[in-house]
Amino acid sequence: MLTGSMLGADAALAHSAMQELMNELPLGVIQLDESHLLGRCNPIAQQLLESAVGIELLLTLDKMATRAAACGQLVETVMTAGPIGELRILLARSEGVSGFVAYVERSATARLRAEIQVLRALLEAVTVESSVTDAIQPGLESLAGTLTAGWVALFESDSDGLALRPLAHVGVPPEHRTYLLPHEISATSSAVGRAALTGAPVHLRVLSRGPFAAERALIGGEKFAGLALPVRGGDKMLGALFVCGPMGLLGEGEIRLVQGLADAVGALLQRARSDGAIKREQEARQTLMDNLPDAIVESGAQGTIVVAAGRVLAILGRSAADLLGAPIEELVAPADRIAFAARLRAASLDSAALGEFTIVHPNGAQVPVEVSLQRAAPSSDLSVRAVFRDVSQRKKLEADVAHAREISVQRERLALIGQLASAITHEINNPLAFVRSNIELLESLAPTQLSGPDAARGKMVVEALHDSLAGLDRVNAIISALKGMARKNTREVVEFDPSTPIHEAILIFERARHGSGHVQLTLPALPMVMGSSSGLAQVLLNLLDNALEANAGKGLISVQCAEEGSSVVIRVRDRGPGITPDVRAHLFEPYFTTKLPGTGMGLGLYLSRDILEASGGSIELESTTDETVFRVTLPLAK
């Protein structure tokens, strides 16, 4: 037997169950008393009453209650609710309780219109060339516009399939922005994480009661529902779509709408990834072509250029756009075009024809190139692929190697001359010794043998013999200087007294020139220096010879020596016409000479600088318009 207290408990339990059922219904439920005043309502109805259409909804319910009281039957109407769309309202008297009950749901017609609007936006996105974000955004905006106080977010999976990153979103309020952080793809991280992992939708009727901390943390979660749908592209999972809206407004129609959006978004993402992969491959190929060290052009069947890539501007002097349509023969200098045409005819599909030609840029610059020509189509047309390689550096290197080889040969010749000079002076010394001995004997016998009537003649003989001995002394001095230069290495860096090679160089110069040039020497006591004694003598001989030529084979040459700072400085000065600026620019270059053919090789100053710099010294030109001064510097010995 049931007691009153038990009946009261059952009634309370039934009332609680009824209230929970009302809260879970996917539509609004509103109770009015007999005076049409508002009573209880579930959360969806509460949100509608608190929205911008709340007052209009209460006025509509008051009119419907008056009609229901008068006719005693169910009253139905459709109310336009602005951004919400249309609301279908059913109102009738309550059974067993005084007052009225109203049921409010969004019109299916409104949802259908929303679907059409979203799909139209997506169709426009698919047909317009734009970024994937710009293409998807209109569809998200149309979907968000159909929700009351709702928002939409699209997440894209990374290349490893481990995380989701936000790609696009619409209407996310500031208090829900934390949801736009990356999500781990897992069954426990979030609704979008589970949807992306399992490929199945995840529907949360009340966010605050959901199994995921990410959704429970959203402010006001007891008023919102959520729907996460996987986004696929073919058989591949590309991401997830999350829709958040007031509870009850994510009904069957909204779910179908979101599913259609997710399918369309998946197609867009798949297309974007495919287009992106193709674009990246094209960019990689273009980058590879642009960074090639050569210029590559291809001519079509008519012999005009249809493709140009690589370093076309640097090598061919024109941009790729300017080259298109030009005859391929016009790339080379006019003087090379006959030979180039012959190479074109010799090209085949199987082998390339090689040749060296000159490219003339529009500004007149010339570039030597090596060209590889290979036919790109059967020999019946003029399709040819040509690879132009700049060989300027190679040519310069070859020239430098040739110069170095020639300089090496000249040095070997100088060394050989030094060895010959040493051998010759050694051979000369022996007969000179005999001659000196004989002259000294004659000089001693002359006074006794030529006396008396021959005394005057004897005196003349003695003077002649005395002059001969003086001449022999001069010859010995020259031979000693030559032997000193020959036996020393011009590359050997040692400590030496610069006065000795200075005297030797001047002595050899004056004797070799037979008095054609007079040297005025200023030579104070000098400290020891570092370098090559024979090298310094060779440098001074070259400078003295140049000075004599500048003086037209006569005149005074000044050699001034002094200690300046941490160096010994030797200045060789002539009174010639000076050196012009255009000659000065090339003065120390190998093989540059202003002498007549056959009188000089242009290596003197080049080798002089080489000899001095090897020991830390230098040679410089100090010149005015009426004289020339070369300044030789040697470092002091430490």
Global pTM reads: 0.36
Strand order of the β-sheet with 151-157 is 183-184, 163-170, 151-157, 236-246, 224-233, 202-204
Radius of gyration of the CA atoms of the chain, in A:
54
pLDDT greater at residue 498 or residue 108: 498
For residue 150, the model assigns a pLDDT of 79
Q: Average model confidence (pLDDT) for the chain?
A: 77
**pLDDT of 372 above 80:** yes
pLDDT greater at residue 529 or residue 297: 529
For residue 430, the model assigns a pLDDT of 63
**pLDDT of 622 above 70:** yes
The amino acid occupying position 180 is: L
- Alpha carbon distance 536, 538 (integer Å): 5
Residue with tokens 């309502």, as numbered in its chain: 41
Q: What are 52-80's pLDDT values in tens digits?
A: 788 999 999 999 999 998 888 889 888 88
Which stretch, 119-123, 379-383, 486-490, 502-506, has highest mean pLDDT? Answer: 502-506
Of 202, 200, 199, residue with least CA distance to 190: 202
- Alpha carbon distance 442, 436 (integer Å): 10
Phi then psi for 588, rounded to 5 degrees? -100, 15
Task: Give the burial class of 530: count Cβ atoms within 10 A of its Cβ; 0-12 exposed, 13-18 middle, 19 or more buried.
Answer: middle
Q: From residue 388, give the alpha-carbon distance in Å to each of 341, 384, 392, 446.
A: 15, 13, 12, 88
- Alpha carbon distance 632, 531 (integer Å): 12
Print burial letters for 402-412: b (CB count within 10 Å at least 16), e (below 16). eeeeebeeeee
For residue 410, the model assigns a pLDDT of 62
- Alpha carbon distance 124, 138 (integer Å): 9
The continuous run of DSSP H or E covering 296 comes out as strand 295-299
**pLDDT of 223 above 50:** yes
In a 3-state reduction of DSSP, which class is residue 432?
helix
**pLDDT of 157 above 50:** yes
pLDDT greater at residue 21 or residue 371: 371
The amino acid occupying position 155 is: F
84-93, 289-298, 310-319, 341-350: least confidently modelled range: 289-298
Of 302, 339, 342, 344, residue with least CA distance to 324: 302
- Alpha carbon distance 411, 152 (integer Å): 86
pLDDT-based confidence at 4, cuts 50/70/90? very low
